[in-house]
Amino acid sequence: MVSLRARLGFTARLAALVLWGWSSAPGAEAPRDYVGEWLTRQGEVRTWSASFVQTRSLKTLAQPLMTEGRVWFAAPDRFRWELGRPAQTIAVRQTNAVVVHYPRLHRAERYPVTAGSTGPWSQMLTLLEAGFPRGRKELDERFTVASEVVTNGLVEVDLRPRLASVRRMLPLFRVVLSAEDAGLRATELVFADGSSLRNDFIEPQINPPIEPGMFQLDLGPDVKVSEPLNAKRR
């Protein structure tokens, strides 16, 4: 008598052969490489801009918080995020620092960015830029692709940070692409405590003209500037 384990093993092998034969049969359509298309498209992006709706979901809140904003990006690593209308928070990536300005509070924070830095802050910064990788190598150095799901004309690509120090804070970064043209439609950060931060982009523009001054912040004398990372080292 053939054992149950043997019958199940044979069934699994048969199913694998059938599926392999179906997927590689002449005329079968190969799975579409959305991530590859997205990366190819990113190689053509010199500037990018969009309005967005940011949704913050916290366990302590019954309803998520939603705020409108605007983002500008210039390759390879300049960006400006404005949250709120009028802007309540402005984050600008400059040559060697990220400056976060709170206009209503007359306060700003400066976070230095140094070449070769691998600390948690530096890695979190890469997440802000993760929607704009310059190629497969850059993506693979920072993330592993955990899953890719297509639904309702959108492709959800789940990326996991390679560094354990980053995964402890933020285990998942999600990129949402258009199934039609592999263009960026949303990004979502899922934190270790279960909270999330999602940006849904509205009418993104590829290679629009952006003045260089957009990536500068002229802080008046009434703005108090602090460096939180330096304060922690003291």
Asked whether the predicted pLDDT for residue 211 surpasses 50, the reply is yes
Report which listed range, 20-24, 164-168, 200-204, is most confident: 200-204
Mean pLDDT rounded to a whole number for the chain: 80
Radius of gyration of the chain (CA): 22
- pTM equals 0.78
- Model confidence at 9, in pLDDT bands (50, 70, 90)? very low
Residue labelled with tokens 């199913």: 15
Percent helix, strand and coil across the chain, each rounded to 5?
25, 40, 35
Residue labelled with tokens 């048969």: 14
Hey, what are 164's tokens? 């354990």
- Model confidence at 129, in pLDDT bands (50, 70, 90)? low
How much is the pLDDT for 114?
Answer: 66
CATH architecture of 34-233: Clam (2.50)
How much is the pLDDT for 163?
Answer: 85
- The residue with greater pLDDT, 229 or 210, is 210
- Model confidence at 187, in pLDDT bands (50, 70, 90)? very high
What is the C-alpha separation between 226 and 111, in angstroms, rounded? 9
Asked whether the predicted pLDDT for residue 169 surpasses 50, the reply is yes
Asked whether the predicted pLDDT for residue 122 surpasses 80, the reply is no
Ramachandran quadrant class, 203 (left: phi over 0; alpha: psi -120 to 50; beta: rest): left
Tens of pLDDT, residue by residue over 195-205, are 999 999 999 99
Query: What does the pLDDT average to over 174-193?
Result: 92
- Model confidence at 97, in pLDDT bands (50, 70, 90)? confident
How much is the pLDDT for 57?
Answer: 93
- Model confidence at 124, in pLDDT bands (50, 70, 90)? low
**Residue 85: phi, psi to the nearest 5?**
-135, 105
Tens of pLDDT, residue by residue over 139-159, are 888 889 999 999 999 999 999
For residue 228, give the 3-state DSSP assignment.
helix
- The residue with greater pLDDT, 17 or 52, is 52
Percent of the chain with pLDDT over 70: 77
Query: What does the pLDDT average to over 15-28?
Result: 37
Query: In this structure, are residues 129 and 123 in contact, taking their beta carbons and an 8 Å threshold?
Result: no
Please state the domain extents for the chain. Answer: 34-233
Query: What does the pLDDT average to over 204-225?
Result: 92
Strand residues in the chain grouped as ranges (E): 47-57, 65-74, 78-83, 89-93, 97-102, 107-112, 143-151, 154-161, 172-178, 184-190, 196-206, 224-226
